[in-house]
Amino acid sequence: MIFKLVGDGRPYPDHGLSHREWAQIPPRQVRLDSLITTKAMLDLHSLLAADSTFYGDLFPHVVQWQGELYLEDGLHRALRAALHQRSILHARVLELPN
Q: What is the pLDDT of residue 88?
A: 97
Burial of 38 (0-12, 13-18, 19+ CB in 10 A): buried
- Rounded distance between C-alpha atoms, residue 73 and residue 59, angstroms: 9
- For residue 60, the model assigns a pLDDT of 95
The secondary structure of 15-33 as a DSSP string is ----HHHHHTSPEEEEEGG
pLDDT score of 1: 75
The model carries a pTM of 0.87
Domain coordinates in residue numbering, the chain: 1-9+23-38
pLDDT value at residue 76: 85
Tell me the per-residue pLDDT of 28-83, one tens digit each, with 9 for 90 and over.
999 999 999 998 887 777 666 665 555 567 899 999 999 999 999 998 889 889 99
